[in-house]
Amino acid sequence: MKKGMVFLLICFMLVFAAACGETETSQNAQTGTSGEAAQASAETEASQGENSNALIAYFTYAENAELPDGVDASASASIQVADGERTGNTGMVARMIQDAIGADLFSIRTEESYPDNYEDTVDQGQEEQAENARPRLTGQIENLDQYDTVFLGFPNWWGDMPMAVYSFLEEYDLSGKTIVPFVTSGGSGFSGTVSEIETLEPDAEVQEGLSIGASSVQDARNDVESWLQELGYME
């Protein structure tokens, strides 16, 4: 009799322990799922930035050339350093716009790199212009539909946009969007590039652009913010 009761008591304890284990496992699983969801939500929010309906697409020399690791940015007016990363004059202005309004950045990059010095690069740009070339691009803009406004930046090469920017404008349909151009140059400004953008994107609204002299890029933040305020992108 006693043996039977002991046996029943042992069975009862085993069942109770198993039930507790299942309950704890279930609670841990729910906690883990909730934690992962919260983390995913936070990452999504961070990736969207403060102004998730605006995109800054730009082409800049230093992000499209095979520069040696020891290149001295201070020795070339066309190479800048922003947040510890090398970029070009146009890339620097793009980051100033991002700092001001929190838009997403997209660097327009070509499959084939340009030469490791600016003079040879613009000479190659002139050759591409003469051939009406369309360099192949790498990378894709995800969720283009979410952007209402596209800031489009580029350097002035021989009185025109780099042909990679033509590739970009022919690859993406910006109909119904607002395009806000900005350019860096040695003094030529936009030349005829604004009308080229309007021709390539006839169903987009092209707003007043900003021209920054290459030698003035590092001190251009106030000009950039004043321009954005005039257009209504900053209070």
Alpha helix locations (H) across 84-220? 89-101, 118-130, 163-171, 193-200
Q: What is the pLDDT at residue 85?
A: 66
What tokens were used for 117?
A: 């010095």
User: Residues 22, 69: one domain?
Assistant: no
User: Residues 172, 194: one domain?
Assistant: yes
Q: What is the pLDDT at residue 66?
A: 77
CA atoms of 142 and 149, how far apart (whole Å): 15
At 168, which CATH number? 3.40.50.360
Domain count, the chain: 2
User: Residues 114, 87: one domain?
Assistant: yes
Q: What is the pLDDT at residue 25?
A: 36
Q: With contact defined as beta carbons under 8 Å apart, do 153 and 183 qualify?
A: yes
User: Residues 62, 91: one domain?
Assistant: yes
Spell out, as residue ranges, where the chain has pLDDT lower than 70: 1-51, 67-85
Which of 135, 49, 170, 138 is CA-nearest to residue 100?
Answer: 49
Q: Which domain holds residue 28?
A: 1-48
The whole model's pTM is what? 0.75
